[in-house]
Amino acid sequence: MHAFRTHTCAALTKADVGATVRLSGWVHRVRDHGGVLFIDLRDHYGMTQVLCDPDSPVFAEVEKVRSEWCIRIDGTVKARDESLINPKIPTGEVEVFVRDLEVLGTADELPLPVFGDQDYPEETRLKYRFLDLRRESLHENIILRSNVVRSIRKRMWDIDFNEFQTPIITASSPEGARDFLVPSRLHPGKFYALPQAPQQFKQLTMVGGFDKYFQIAPCFRDEDPRADRSPTDFYQLDLEMSFVDQQDVFDTIQPVIAGLFEEFGGGRKVDTDWPQISYRDSALWFGTDKPDLRNPIKMQIVSEHFAGSGFAIFAKLLEQDGTEIRAIPAPTGGSRKFCDRMNKFAQEQGLPGMGYIFWRDQGNGMEAAGPLAKNIGPERTEAIRQQLGLEVGDAAFFLGGKPATFEGVAGRARTVIGEELNLVDKDRFAFAWIVDFPMYEADDEGRIDFSHNPFSMPQGGMAALDGDPLEVLGYQYDLACNGYELVSGAIRNHKLEIMYKAFEIAGYGSDEVEKRFGGMVNAFKYGAPPHGGCAAGIDRIVMLLADEANIREVIMFPMNQRAEDLMMGAPSEPTGEQLRDLSLRVIPQD
């Protein structure tokens, strides 16, 4: 007999009744039923009920067993009584009578329970992550993640992509976040960087003559944490292709992503029609570049109905350049109580409030109610209702000013309205490509910089760079799903003269470009093919599939919100010897 087990804790069935078996696992819980001890024995695969009564030669030893002890038992498989069958587990028709026991590992008093899904402070869960991983829901999430990665690899291999590994220790590269720097012992005063993404290497792979590359790539970014983002590292499906345009990339990645959600989405509907929405329209309609299309609300510009109206606040606002009034339709939201609640929401977001109109039935016809309706009059109010397609029992909310000052709040308000009015189809995955991103953005002082990936091809090529930089669009794209960005990518700028010009507009001279991206510059002198690709965030994909709101619920060993590993004690202070080896000195912070 094997030293630890003949079967896993999910393997025994009624066909094994009468057999002598050996199982190993953790004590999930112990129950004493009138002198008969029942133990739910758990391993990675499942659960088996084992029992012991005073007739067992090891009854006294079994009495000592406690939760989360790791044990090995030998015993005889018995059929459960009909009334005691548990149909929820594969082994629910049988139990094992214990005849021998070996304690493989005892457990101290538990700092958090493994049985059940009680809420515990995240700091405790992360410090004792090895225990947290034993909990059923988290264990299942990590297995889901493993299965998703396996499926991704197979899907990519099936469409003739080759998996290559790119360096982890490399040079710093601008990807929109801070680098993690690694000091060099052999080159004092110089630093490597952990890659924010394999961006340059995958492009160089295309220049090297390979046609289809992919990698389950680790990426390292020194970022502030969010619920949907790890503060240190994450994994992505990274891919690149030669001789392709934007649509080719979409046509390649869509079946892979859709297939994953169909395979692991638990029967939820997966949209097959993925619209392509411009960045500008997405900001207008949804207040974000990662819209949740399960919410049917689409915002609209209604400035014309307030220009010169009796509502002085909006009328005067519209006299300023670059201002507009937007409406957020709220089907079924036509009550003063709901409108007041949303107005309070806007105030909590830092705005003075949100104007509103709601339409009600007065018996002899429809009436528009609310302060705005009284100020602008029935003709303008009716025009707004018709433009927004609203009816009795509906409402609309209004925000005004320069879009940059209220767009984010408008997007959040749209989300809250959709959820509170039960307009969001929760049983669905809704995808949209966001395209036509601006290449550049300006800060408050008018300085121009890249707004997205600096290695993207501008739409229109060199000619596009001769005009207003803020009007230049790039062949850049994101894939949004249910309010999250899942994929980001671009068609790359493979022409050296266009690259120099693009960086010059952002304030980087040719010497700086050659210094920072020498490998890329040198490669593009030797016949670079047109190429493009994208990267899909594996953590976020699994988070959506697992129906989790926090990305740490799908990462095996995540950091906390302060980018600390409480289990391993990272980051830690280096020893004096380590600092000397690296020619470094730590300057105390004031």
- DSSP SS3 for 40: strand
176 has a pLDDT exceeding 70: no
CA angle 221, 226, 340 (to 5 degrees): 150
| Residue written as token pair 């000052």 | 405
CATH of segment(s) 14-105: 2.40.50.140
Strands 355-361 and 395-401: antiparallel
Neighbours of 378 (CB within 10 A): 11
What's the mean pLDDT in 280-305? 97
Q: Which amino acid is at 137?
A: S
Res 107: pLDDT = 96
Cα 382 from Cα 388, distance rounded (Å): 10
Question: Among 211, 112, 92, 102, which residue's Cα sits nearest to residue 162?
Answer: 211
Q: Where are the domains of the chain?
A: 14-105, 139-276+432-437+474-494+529-577, 295-424
Question: 235 near 538, Cβ under 8 Å?
Answer: yes
Integer Cα distance of 41 and 106 in angstroms: 14
Interatomic CA distance for residues 264 and 524, integer angstroms: 41
Structure tokens at 269: 């509907």
Write down the pTM of the prediction. 0.92
Kindly tell me if the per-residue pLDDT of 521 is higher than 80.
yes
* Rounded-to-integer distance, Cα 86 and Cα 315, Å: 69
Average pLDDT over residues 560-575: 92
Partner residues linked to 361 by β-bridges: 366
Distance, in Å, from the CA atom of 442 to the CA atom of 275, rounded to the nearest integer, reads 29
What's the pLDDT tens digit per position in 179-194?
A: 999 999 999 999 999 9
Taking the CA atoms of residue 251, residue 252, residue 253 and residue 257 in that order, the dihedral angle to the nearest 10 degrees is: 90
How many helices and strands (H and E) does the chain possess? 16, 24
- Return the pLDDT at 175: 58
Q: Helices 246-264 and 136-158 sit at what angle, rounded to 10 degrees?
A: 140
pLDDT > 80? residue 78: yes
pLDDT, residue 228, reads 75
> Model confidence over 242-268: pLDDT tens digits?
999 999 999 999 999 999 999 999 999
Output the CA angle 462-465-468, nearest 5 degrees: 160
Residue-wise pLDDT tens digits, 362-374: 877 889 998 899 8
Contact 210, 237 (CB under 8 A): no
Please say whether the beta carbons of 359 and 393 come within 8 A: yes
Pairwise CA distance, residues 319 & 563, whole Å: 47
Q: Phi-psi region for residue 389, left (φ > 0), alpha (ψ -120 to 50) or beta?
A: left
Start-to-end CA span in the chain (Å)? 65
The one-letter amino acid code at 574 reads P
Fold of 295-424: Gyrase A; domain 2 (3.30.1360)
Task: Render pLDDT for 402-458 as a digit per residue (tens, 0 to 9).
Answer: 998 899 999 999 999 999 999 999 999 999 999 999 999 988 888 999 988 888 999
* Across 198-217, average pLDDT: 96
**341: phi then psi, degrees, rounded to nearest 5:** -65, -40
Cα distances from 17 to residues 20, 83, 92, 291, 551, in angstroms, run 9, 17, 12, 55, 43
Residue 446: its pLDDT value, please? 84
- Tokens 């007739």 belong to residue: 55
Q: CB–CB of 114/124 below 8 Å?
A: no
65 in Cβ contact with 7 (< 8 Å): no
**Whether pLDDT at 174 is above 70:** no
Q: Regarding predicted confidence, which is higher, 177 or 385?
A: 385
The candidate with the shortest Cα–Cα distance to 396, out of 299, 493, 312, is: 299
In this structure, what is the dihedral angle of CA atoms 109, 113, 119, 122, given to the nearest 10 degrees? 60
Residue closest to 477 by CA, chosen among 167, 252, 227, 145: 252
CATH superfamily for 139-276+432-437+474-494+529-577 is Bira Bifunctional Protein; Domain 2 (3.30.930.10)
Angle, CA of 73, 39 and 143, to the nearest 5°: 85
DSSP string, 547-577: T-SSGGGG-SS---TTS-BTTTTBS-PPPHH
Residues 139-150 pLDDT 10s: 999 999 999 999
